[in-house]
Amino acid sequence: MHSEDLNGKTLEHWTPDDVAAGLDNHTIVLIDVRTPQEYMFQHIRGALLAPMSGFDPAFMPPEGDKRLVFHCGSGVRSRKVAEAYLAAGHDRIAHLEGGFGAWRAAAKAFVDTDPATGAPRMMPGS
């Protein structure tokens, strides 16, 4: 993970390993900002859906004991959502650098759609 300062606020860029560890030890809330169609086709197990098109920082869960981490397909939309979250008065936020593409490239487990049945199936990580 690395971070950058945006006008005195912190944007953290998490790796797939960082996010996987956070999910495994239940210290993060992962929020997928892709479209519902993208989410239904493939998603990270445990991620909540809050599409960028209707994103409102006021409806995000409070961080409390868990960090919020946004993700999208490539990291572009999640960064924009993270910046909007910071602009709404929050001091720090994280996103998955490289998005779902980086997650898959790192061979992490995810929920896929079986093309033969249309049913969800777990794709194991390595």
**pLDDT tens per residue, range 20-67:** 999 999 999 999 999 999 999 999 999 999 999 999 999 999 888 999
pLDDT at 22: 98
Tens digits of residue pLDDT in 55-112: 999 999 988 899 999 999 999 999 999 999 999 999 999 999 999 999 999 999 999 9
- Inter-residue contact 16 to 106 (CB < 8 Å): yes
CB count within 10 Å of CB 57 equals 15
The pLDDT of residue 111: 97
**Domain count across the chain:** 1
The whole-angstrom separation of Cα 85 and Cα 79 is 10
Per DSSP, helices labelled H in 4-119 are 16-24, 36-41, 76-87, 99-105
Tokens read off for 11: 């944007």
What residues contact 49, with CB distance under 8 A and at least 6 apart? 31, 32, 34, 36, 39, 43
**Residue range of the domain that includes 52:** 2-56+65-123
- CATH code where residue 29 lies: 3.40.250.10
